[in-house]
Amino acid sequence: MKTTKIGSACKAALAVVITGGLFTGTAQAQLAGHNVVLVHGFQQEDLANPPANLQEVKDAGENYWRTFWLSRSEARIDWASDGRVEGGIAQQAYQQLRQISQQGLCNTYCIVVSHSTGDLVTRYLLENQARWLQSEGLQPLKILAAVDYSGAGGGTELANLAMSLAYNDSWYNWPLRAAVEAFTGIEPEPGKLGVVNDLQTNTARNLAIGPNSIPRLRFVAGGSSYGGITKPFIAGTDDGVVPTHSACGATTAEGIDSCSSSVSLAGKVTSQNGPDGLYYNHYPVLMNEGVTHSGVLGSESGNISVPVVNNTTLNGLRVDFASRTYNQRAWWQWWGSGDRYIEVPGSDQTDMSNLVYSTLNN
Structural domain boundaries in the chain: 28-321+344-360
Instruction: Report residue 218's pLDDT band, with 50, 70 and 90 as the boundaries.
Output: very high
The model carries a pTM of 0.91
Bigger pLDDT: 20 or 276? 276
pLDDT in the model for residue 227: 93
pLDDT at 18: 37
**C-beta separation of 110 from 80 below 8 A:** no
pLDDT at 344 over 80: yes
**pLDDT at res. 330:** 75
Which carries the bigger pLDDT value, residue 189 or residue 13?
189
Neighbour tally for 258: CB within 10 Å: 28
| pLDDT recorded at residue 280 | 97
Report how far residue 318's alpha carbon sits from residue 361's, in angstroms, rounded to the nearest whole number: 9
23: closest CA among 285, 301, 323, 222? 301
**DSSP run (H or E) holding 145:** strand 143-149
Tens-digit pLDDT profile for residues 349-360: 999 999 999 999
> Residue 318 is inside which H or E element, if any?
strand 317-319
In the predicted structure, residue 3 carries a pLDDT above the cut 70: no
Q: What is the pLDDT of residues 43-79, one digit of tens each?
A: 999 999 999 999 999 999 999 999 999 999 999 999 9
Integer-rounded Cα Rg, in Å, for the chain is 20
Which residue from 116, 183, 195, 196 is spatially nearest to 153, judged by alpha carbons?
116
90: left (phi over 0), alpha (psi -120 to 50) or beta: alpha
Tell me the C-alpha distance between 317 and 223, whole Å. Answer: 28
225-271 residue pLDDT tens:
999 999 999 999 999 999 999 999 999 999 999 999 999 999 999 99
The H or E element that residue 127 is part of is: helix 118-134
Please provide the average confidence, as pLDDT, over all residues in the chain.
91
Handedness of CA 80, 85, 91, 95 (dihedral sign): positive
Predicted confidence (pLDDT) per residue in 143-160, tens digit? 999 999 999 999 999 999
**According to the model, what pLDDT value does residue 337 have?**
74
Per-residue pLDDT at 88 exceeds 50: yes
In one letter, which amino acid is 140? P
Rounded Cα distance, 201 and 164, in Å: 13
Residue pair 304/265 in contact (Cβ under 8 Å)? The answer is no
Predicted confidence (pLDDT) per residue in 307-339, tens digit: 999 999 999 999 999 999 999 877 677 666 789
